[in-house]
A and B are shown apart, each in its own frame.
Chain A
């Protein structure tokens, strides 16, 4: 795993799809000033949301060659939250991390342009390690044995813990998490800022550290095999029936009942 320093408290900000961010905070003797928080935000390079996805003719996956890629929108939201923490002087340093092919560096550069101080690129070639599975944040929390607050739509700091409002199917849930913690970002957490052109140019000077998965002793042998990818079935026309008897008859005919 990554070199985890034995510091007292963590906050992690993660996107709710498949990118994870771990924020860990160094604890000093003086507890009331939290300006020493260091935020680690995961950013992933994905197919741009506006692109029409097409399945490859051999059904082995989706077409990615020559297709426009951008930062996962939820990662942008996570980045924005980290930058806001820094602006509120709650965070000292923001580090953007991405696991992916060489082009992932473009995504890290966008994160640097949004306000990250430096980047870490772990080179992983081949297919993505996970799909849109909503597991990364939770997996990270489990591996680290930290509390988690997922689908966050609001994060506020209270003393030495975080108050997180979560969006769940039934409404809004407020939880309190002690630090260190893992948080995943949801759509309404914030509205990400544009990477301005001057910041894009300044980002050129910021450092991106490059690593290979082997550097951390991580085994990338896949334990999942993608058997096939298909388009969703074309929506079939429905049938209208005049009466309940007709409905039952039709259901019996099709063998459903």
Chain B
């Protein structure tokens, strides 16, 4: 077959991607010289990166080289960064917003005037049409004030996103223009008192009217960001759907665009929160609210998918927002560490303090690398709309926990001063706490990451088993080779460290990252073997083994972080960015630390661990409803008769 790239490669290769990957050949036989040029039918692009790790496959072409903007887009982005930074520096008083639990009207208007309410709305509807990468960049700046960041995100990352991705042309033309300028504010109404993580169990109902022209919405939502100020809501409610095949009537979730002006909508008073106090959060009640059928978003009964797509799309930007906060904190805290003297030395001279700053910097480096890698994959996937939900979930989990720990450490560096309201650290800490809770709790996301990955692996392994049963020589040989190789702990080299200093085809790490890349390679092989072992051990029952899944998720999150960090540092070296040697040091150090964590978790997964005992302790306590152990001072009557002689006075 001529390798024009337009003809599909043989079906065999497409259906069994792992074969070609192990052999390291391009399916069309063509070398891709320009890293930005991709072969649409190439099997390597069937699914984004992270899921493939679960079968021990590292598809390096998807993550090397690190995504970059062309000069024109980069210049324009820099132009946009300036006014936004100035606005946040000069015209945003975060302390006041926190004290008053309100964002002043002038500040909100300023944000609208700057264009920040329609960053990703397409140009033709009056928005800025920013790509995911550009949106992430501006997110670094808006994150400086937690309340503003959440207000903006609630409006556009989830509030109006549904219209953008699932709306028809009329709905987009009707609603997006005013939402893009901020004339109307949007909100996302899914959560209910009895339905948080379990979104499919919502009870708000939408019943079709007799004349079939509109739905009547009834129910209550809680903790809706922008709930009190929104004019347009994306509301999720249960509707009766008739199954076309069985004729059975089922309750399914449907998404609606609901205007406050439809009537019957009441918002409660703003909740008094620990952090992000300037963001409006309240209950929203619908009482016989009429919603025209033209306002159904997507299909009737297809609302759950709409909700998941909306939520999956916005998560990755927490990486860049988080990094924005941590980088700012490093600067502020360093000032203290370089000027404060104790024991005749500046704080910065003590290794314990140095470690804190290194930890903060490493986490920020990893967070932003993961965020921009994910954004880059999303922005340049051939054909658009790749499923990066697992990558985005990983970014969210890692970033939320890193921001929390970094803010806490920064506060610690200041000691008592950090605890005072005079300083912003306590506000940053309070604002950061929500990150681990909203947009999908970290617990749920860990389960999602592990289960999606395991399912992907399980499906492929099932295919493999079938081929083995059929006696397919190629698969048998390849399986043996893999097993043989991984038996020694070092599997087939994925070859993603350049042999020479001049990056040949751009799909590899620079040799200065060899230390980190080799550790990553090892982990990739470990994971491939471990997944098979776990599936063999637990089968379908793996769904219930949450403590196992939690470790799998943590390992893969770490591996994605290592990948992002190695790719980014490679780019820094190849481009000759200032301070690239510092980046190489950070990347290799990060990989070593994370590899150590991973090895501990692999060990726990493979052999003895305390899971069963831990679960028993937890269950017993929960059954009793309180702490069980007797009080340290408790005694019994017979004690003095036992053969233990207390010391004589």
Contact = CB atoms under 8 A, between A and B. Distances in A.
Interface in A159-186: none
A196 B83 contact: yes
Contact of A113 (B78, B79, B84, B87): B79
Interface size class of A (residues with CB under 8 A): 10 to 19
A204 to B, nearest CB: 7
A197 interface: yes
B578 A106 contact: no
B113 A196 contact: yes
User: Interface of chain A, helix or strand or loop or mixed?
Assistant: helix
B444 interface: no
B83 A195 contact: yes
A198 B83 contact: no
Interface string B68-92: 0000000110111011101100000
B82 A196 contact: no
Interface of B: 75-76, 78-80, 82-84, 86-87, 113-116, 119, 123, 126, 128-129, 578
A194 interface: yes
A118 interface: no
Given A66-B578, A197-B128, A106 B114 contact: no
A197 B75 contact: no
B79 A109 contact: yes
A70 B114 contact: no
B114 A201 contact: no
A187 interface: no
B80 to A, nearest CB: 5
A200 interface: yes
A59 B610 CA distance: 67
Contacts of B115: 196-198
Interface in A105-147: 106, 109-110, 113
Nearest to B126: A198
Contact of A110 (B79, B84, B114): B79
10 contacts: A109-B79, A194-B87, A194-B114, A197-B83, A197-B84, A198-B115, A200-B79, A200-B80, A201-B128, A204-B76
A250 to B, nearest CB: 35
Interface in A193-220: 194-198, 200-201, 204
A201 B129 CA distance: 10
Contacts, number: 41
Interface in A66-87: 66, 70
Nearest to A110: B79
Contact of A196 (B76, B114, B129): B114
Nearest to B77: A200
A52 B391 CA distance: 40
Interface in A55-106: 66, 70, 106
Contact of A201 (B83, B84, B123, B578): B123
Given A106-B79, A204-B76, A197 B114 contact: yes
B82 A198 contact: no
B86 A106 contact: no
B89 to A, nearest CB: 9
A197 B82 contact: no
A198 B126 CA distance: 8
A106 B78 CA distance: 10
B136 to A, nearest CB: 15
A106 B116 CA distance: 22
Given A196-B114, A198-B128, A201-B128, A106 B83 contact: no
Given A66-B578, A201-B128, A194 B76 contact: no
Of the listed residues A66, A113, A197, A200, the one surrounded by the most CB atoms of chain B closer than 10 A to its CB is A197
Interface in A207-250: none
Contacts of A197: 80, 83-84, 114-116, 119, 128
B133 to A, nearest CB: 15
A83 to B, nearest CB: 14
A235 B509 CA distance: 51
Given A195-B82, A200-B76, 10 more contacts: A106-B75, A113-B79, A194-B83, A194-B87, A195-B79, A196-B83, A196-B115, A198-B115, A198-B126, A204-B76
Closest 9 CB pairs of A and B: A197-B115, A194-B83, A198-B115, A196-B114, A195-B83, A197-B80, A196-B115, A200-B79, A197-B128
Of the listed residues A106, A201, A204, the one surrounded by the most CB atoms of chain B closer than 10 A to its CB is A201
Contacts of A70: 82
Contacts of A66: 578
Nearest to B119: A197
A244 B119 CA distance: 70
Of the listed residues B82, B84, B115, B578, the one surrounded by the most CB atoms of chain A closer than 10 A to its CB is B82
A111 B115 CA distance: 18
Contacts of B79: 106, 109-110, 113, 195, 200
Contacts of B76: 200-201, 204
A106 B77 CA distance: 12
B479 to A, nearest CB: 53
A80 B80 CA distance: 18
Contacts of A198: 115, 126, 128
A54 B299 CA distance: 62
A148 to B, nearest CB: 31
A254 B79 CA distance: 55
